[in-house]
């Protein structure tokens, strides 16, 4: 599913970024540029990022727990 139409970023792209060590939403924005144009996708992108950071990135080093409230 495409989350960010401006940069054509999918939920899978976000998932891959989290699994490869992206630990914060700011870092995700630096890497993928998600939510850096019109900003419409910010809430959705944040939701996907939080879900991935909390549950999907258990392949070794734990991500920063700051995204899991
Ligand atoms: S849809 Fe993501 S910045 Fe516009």
CATH number of the domain bearing residue 47: 1.10.10.1100
pLDDT the model gives residue 49: 97
Going from the Cα of 30 to the center of ligand 1, the distance in angstroms, rounded, reads 14
Q: Is residue 39 within 6 Å of ligand 1 at its C-beta?
A: yes
pLDDT the model gives residue 56: 57
Contact 55, 18 (CB under 8 A): no
In whole angstroms, how far apart are CA 46 and each of 15, 18, 19, 38? 12, 12, 15, 15
pLDDT the model gives residue 67: 46
**For every one of its 69 residues, what pLDDT tens digit does the chain have, with 9 covering 90 and above?**
999 999 999 999 999 999 999 999 999 999 999 999 999 999 999 999 999 998 755 554 444 444 444
| Domain extent for 13 | 2-67
pLDDT the model gives residue 38: 98
Q: Is residue 2 within 6 Å of ligand 1 at its C-beta?
A: no
Q: What's the domain count of the chain? A: 1
Q: Is residue 48 within 6 Å of ligand 1 at its C-beta?
A: no
């Amino acid at each position: 599913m495409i989350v960010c139409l401006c940069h054509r970023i999918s939920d899978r792209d976000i998932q891959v970024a989290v699994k490869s060590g992206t630990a914060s939403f700011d870092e995700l924005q630096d890497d993928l540029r998600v939510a850096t144009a019109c900003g419409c996708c910010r809430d959705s992108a944040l939701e996907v990022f939080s879900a991935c950071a909390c549950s999907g990135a258990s392949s070794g080093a734990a991500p920063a727990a700051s995204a899991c409230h």
